[in-house]
Amino acid sequence: MQRCIPVFLDEETVHQYYNGYCNNILWPLFHYLGLPQEDRLATTRSFQSQFAAYKKANQMFADVVNEHYKEGDVVWCHDYHLMFLPKCLKEYNNKMKVGWFLHTPFPSSEIHRTLPSRSELLKSVLAADLVGFHTYDYARHFVSACTRILGLEGTPDGVEDQGKLTRVAAFPIGIDSDRFIQALELPQVKDHIKDLKDRFAGRKVMLGVDRLDMIKGIPQKILAFEKFLEENPIWRDKVVLVQIAVPTRTDVPEYQKLSCEVHEIVGRINGRFGTLTTVPIHHLDRSLDFHALCALYAVTDVALVTSLRDGMNLVSYEFVACQASKKGVLILSEFAGAAQSLGAGAILVNPWNVTEVAASIGYALTMPADEREKRHRHNFTHVTTHTSQEWAETFVSELNDTIVEAQLRTRQ
């Protein structure tokens, strides 16, 4: 059986659709960064062509799905790149079982209503039978957008349009926790762990793992660490921050600017607090392989996840999965979806408040063992029970139930 069927897009469509409408318009808007402000006239002009490319690309996905579709198949569309897809699929075949899931936040309806194509996108998503989000808040924002912008009726189950109900609900994603837990038993990972422990002997390890994206709050995190070192000279040679930042969307100027900014701050802090033999921040501009990543998670004392907004944030889950022996502390942004599930075990922070994050670092580094144990137990139980497999099974079974209920309703 063919498990993966590519949809080939030409270069111009990729430019207008993927770099343009998806990553320059929807991604920042859904993370509360607003619509592009620089060169307003050019943005306004390019908006229509980018949206046309977005619809064209979604139609191309629909064509390929339709070509391979067999009666009874479940079609699950993922993310903000494919908001137009449910409508295209239903136009092909109204009986197709269609679900749509958003991996980013869905913003407040007041943010969504600034989008020029706000109504068309909402209506397209509503063509799906089931619409899913990571958190209840995102689902609520979506329903509010449909009631306020489209004038439709919101019900406890979703959104109703002329008797047709689109079910809207929260399905918080998880990780394959066993994969991480089992990796820690592999000889090569144990070797990595030993190397890292030797390298960082006598120092507490703090860790950040993010794609280099403005939503991840990397500059804010590093500035909070600087403030902590500034206010706590005693810790200067006793703690190290390892920040792994994988470059993404490197051809977008905003991302190039962010990379320069992070390098500049890291250089300044290392110059300020480093010695001839040590630096306080190890900043790596690349991705790590899975085993190296697991080893790093396992030796970490404090993980710092300071996203300015994040749909869920799986790094926080992966860290918890690898901490069975160390029981390290998670400092987590209240603006990450994960705050809803790991909030009771983590130290929640407002990433914009550098003073608060710096104080949380001090609290995390000195937290008594019994409190760390209690917090870890809460989060470990969550991460190992709410897995990616459970997430997928719940969504698909809910989609099937939604269709059966809709059929019963139309028969009544």
Apex CA 292: angle with CA 287 and CA 295, to 5°?
A: 135
> Among 35, 74, 246, 279, which residue interacts with ligand ADQ (rule: CB under 6 A)?
246
Q: Rounded to the nearest whole angstrom, what is the least distance from the CB of residue 243 to ligand ADQ in the complex? A: 9
How far apart CA 339 and CA 131 sit, in angstroms, is 22
Total of residues contacting ligand ADQ (CB under 6 A): 18
Q: Does 207 bind ligand ADQ (CB under 6 A)?
A: no
Q: Rounded to the nearest whole angstrom, what is the least distance from the CB of residue 170 to ligand ADQ in the complex? A: 13
Q: Are strands 302-305 and 204-212 parallel, antiparallel or unpaired?
A: parallel
> Among 82, 173, 358, 383, which residue interacts with ligand ADQ (rule: CB under 6 A)?
173
Nearer to ligand ADQ, 131 or 173 (CB): 173
Q: Rounded to the nearest whole angstrom, what is the least distance from the CB of residue 344 to ligand ADQ in the complex? A: 19
Q: Does 310 bind ligand ADQ (CB under 6 A)?
A: yes
Cα separation of the two ends of the chain: 40
Q: Rounded to the nearest whole angstrom, what is the least distance from the CB of residue 237 to ligand ADQ in the complex? A: 26
Q: Does 103 bind ligand ADQ (CB under 6 A)?
A: yes
Q: Does 214 bind ligand ADQ (CB under 6 A)?
A: no
Q: Does 365 bind ligand ADQ (CB under 6 A)?
A: no
Q: Does 329 bind ligand ADQ (CB under 6 A)?
A: no
Query: Is the separation of the CB atoms in 239 and 206 below 8 Å?
Result: yes
298, HSE (Cβ side, Cα atoms, 13 Å): 25
Q: Does 314 bind ligand ADQ (CB under 6 A)?
A: yes
Nearest partner of 52 among 15, 8, 95, 105, judged by Cα = 15
Return the range that interacts with ligand ADQ (CB under 6 A); candidates 159-167, 199-207, 257-265, 307-315: 307-315
**Residue 337 DSSP class:** T
Cβ count within 10 A of residue 221 = 28
**Residues facing residue 158 across a β-bridge:** 155, 167
**Residue 17 DSSP class:** I
Q: Does 129 bind ligand ADQ (CB under 6 A)?
A: no
Query: Is the separation of the CB atoms in 236 and 200 below 8 Å?
Result: no
Return the range that interacts with ligand ADQ (CB under 6 A); candidates 1-9, 203-211, 226-234, 264-272: 203-211
Q: Does 270 bind ligand ADQ (CB under 6 A)?
A: no
Torsion sign across C-alpha atoms 93, 95, 96, 98 = positive
- Binding residues vs ligand ADQ (CB under 6 A): 103-104, 173, 209-211, 244, 246, 287-288, 293, 310-315, 318
